[in-house]
Structure 1
């Protein structure tokens, strides 16, 4: 058997090549649907959210939300067709870093959490955050020309995107409160909203954090840590050279992975290994079919500043605002160091579901987070000791290992 070093080195080398390709903006002309169909791509890898959900028997609506600072975000309303007689509070399902709403469908109709939640007749709204391909619009800024579009990180997402999505859903459903499910960044930005927007938490019955990401002091993924801290170190150089967007859909690394993973022979052998290197080893968790689909939607893009912010969070033992450096911090915050977010303001009832084998949002940081929050109902470790971070969206075991606990609390706060 090849040694771990022998396997890891070429994968890391390939990862570096893909990152460099992104930074120098090597892009492919997007491959059209007809060509992808002819080449044997899995159909779900190139369809959009509405098309995929409809294909599997769900009703789906597409809505556009405009935030206070002008970003236009797409949110999807998905319902099982025979659930009209049920009246339940709406549920928002929010993705993690470098993902989109599509990630909740990639595990297929038997395992994707969007299908499972909507399948229980919950009124499900699947959100998107600025910077991915469903959140790449603005009322006045052009993301391909205006650097200002990309001057955001999790702070702006928490201050603007999350409350705008909550308010839009409540207005369109006529409800006073909703339930919120956030994965990783989707939970972390909710905490920021509560800290910075007093009263916002009062609109939510329960927050379920799936591998919630606040501070990332103990992140164990060496490639992810090296990438994020490196981007943080060189953010000024990158942005001065005009590189404001990273890992966009349609960039060479995404198109390459999508092409490589369309083959059944390579999807598990190579594409599964790529997920393992990013996160942690969990054999058989992500099916070969899901691997053929997910790289059509992942990575979904974000800003250079947001990636830099994650690099900062790995070098601190606090959950704090963006560190601009001493002089800019004094101007922005009135202090040399950025202030911490007020986690005591997250008064909404909170449930955490996390994995012991998560190398991105380590269980030590989840335990720290739980100690800071004032209204924790439960912090539950997933029973499988190999459960990792990306399993939350892509594992074929979601129905058994994640959904029962999730549905327990959604149902409890829907009565």
Structure 2
């Protein structure tokens, strides 16, 4: 990499003003001037747009963005989850919880890891309660339900309160990096978005749990786990296996995302830059991933001293002293295509399948625009519960309310004004603030009595 002081003939810096969001083009000693946005000249997928964004990112790599304090820990901590042993061996068994590993194959060949916790730490017999399936969010894995203490982590709490706990891990995470014919180094291994996670991964994992337990499943999802869930529940073959659904920070629309970090990435077309550079895997434990974060944080308008808050908004009750431990497991990799699909949701205000452009959509869907996932097709009889927070800059209250209005079921709601996006799974107070009501809901669906 060139040093930051290296002389470059010219470069494009994504510096925006309030009235003119186009990038500034600077050349040597010449004054900067605003460039026309390439996407407006030839469309978002045009050659000129791709070239401009490619040059922008190459300039970043050559110039070397300042190392941000936000990424110091990522540089310092080696991911434990990428080492030997599965989730059971690394997290649950050492805590005294029974845990078994299971592998399922999706219809498109991905090998996914599931974990089963049949009883609590002090249980003698397997829990007779219904199966609860926990689905993690973006850049997370099944470990997210267990990396706080036994008294603070939802996975442990459910097992200790009589639930038969199953943990999902989508393709590309550290726990699910297998495929029947591809390796993680193949471009096609990363050719998927959350649409595929809903249509293939959720189907395969829930089908396995349903076959083993012969019981309807209580679905619990967080963040992207709710996007996947809501999309999957529109499919009759999946929703018939669901007994109830509890959604933490529910997302189907992203129109009102207010995270300055995310909006900067969307405005600079980070997704298209990565595609142009042939970067298909997003791994923020890699050198390239850390450089991307540094680049996004290299803006005086962003306060990346607390990277998590920069991305998700403030979290009232997150234990920041444990950040190094959390980083031993997270963030997990995801795909550039998945990021692009999420950015499409922000740009278009839609809850729809992946947009391949007019011709691509015609080939895949038989229509010019990607078909929407119709929330109104989720059966009215499906019991639902939603927990959301006033400080969440990803699952914005306005977008959550839109989701609620479009659903036929009337969800039970838990709103916590001072909770952010991560608080719902990692708050040190979540057991009392969130999980007590969540377990009351889950227990009521099957006539159980929660001991909590």
Q: Normalized against structure 2, the TM-score is what?
A: 0.74
Instruction: Work out which of the residue numbers 184, 195, 198 in structure 2 matches 1:155.
Output: 195
Q: Which has the higher contact order (CA 8 A, sep 6+)?
A: 1
Counterpart contact for 1:249–1:297, Cα < 8 Å: no
Q: Is the alpha carbon distance of 1:86 and 1:147 closer, same or farther for their aligned partners in structure 2, counting shifts above 3 Å? A: closer
Instruction: Work out which of the residue numbers 182, 186, 191 in structure 2 matches 1:141.
Output: 182
Q: Is the alpha carbon distance of 1:353 and 1:44 closer, same or farther for their aligned partners in structure 2, counting shifts above 3 Å? A: same
1:357 matched to 2:391 = yes
Partner of residue 311, structure 2:
278
Shift of 1:156: 0.5
User: Following superposition of structure 1 onto structure 2, how do residues 296-315 of structure 1 map, counting pairs within 5 Å?
Assistant: 296-315=328-347
Shift of 1:164: 0.8
Matched residue of 2:446: which SS? Answer: coil
Counterpart contact for 1:184–1:211, Cα < 8 Å: yes
How far apart in 1 are the matches of 2:103 and 2:266? 31
Give CA deviations for 1:319-339 in whole Å, capped at 9, x if unaligned: 111111222222222332222
Q: Is the alpha carbon distance of 1:111 and 1:41 closer, same or farther for their aligned partners in structure 2, counting shifts above 3 Å? A: farther
- What is the root-mean-square deviation in Å for CA atoms of aligned residues? 3.0
Matched residue of 1:314: which SS? Answer: helix
Shift of 1:194: 2.5
Matched residue count: 363
How far apart in 2 are the matches of 1:44 and 1:140? 23
Partner of residue 243, structure 2:
205
Partner of residue 262, structure 1:
none
Matched residue of 2:133: which SS? Answer: strand
Partner of residue 6, structure 2:
none
User: Following superposition of structure 1 onto structure 2, how do residues 63-212 of structure 1 map, counting pairs within 5 Å?
Assistant: 63-78=102-117, 79-81=119-121, 82=123, 84=125, 86-144=127-185, 146-173=186-213, 175-195=214-234, 197-212=235-250
Instruction: Work out which of the residue numbers 271, 274, 281 in structure 2 matches 1:245.
Output: 281
Q: Is the alpha carbon distance of 1:320 and 1:229 closer, same or farther for their aligned partners in structure 2, counting shifts above 3 Å? A: farther
1:405 matched to 2:443 = no
How far apart in 2 are the matches of 1:408 and 1:68? 35
Partner of residue 11, structure 1:
none
Shift of 1:147: 1.1
Give CA deviations for 1:12-45 in whole Å, capped at 9, x if unaligned: xxxxxxxx79x97xxxxxxxxxxxxxx9999999
1:214 matched to 2:214 = no
How far apart in 2 are the matches of 1:65 and 1:288? 35
Instruction: Work out which of the residue numbers 38, 51, 56 in structure 1 matches 2:95.
Output: 56
Q: Normalized against structure 1, the TM-score is what?
A: 0.80
1:324 matched to 2:364 = no
Q: Is the alpha carbon distance of 1:113 and 1:90 closer, same or farther for their aligned partners in structure 2, counting shifts above 3 Å? A: same
How far apart in 1 are the matches of 2:277 and 2:288? 19
- Consecutive unaligned residues in structure 1, runs of 5 or more: 1-19, 25-38, 258-269
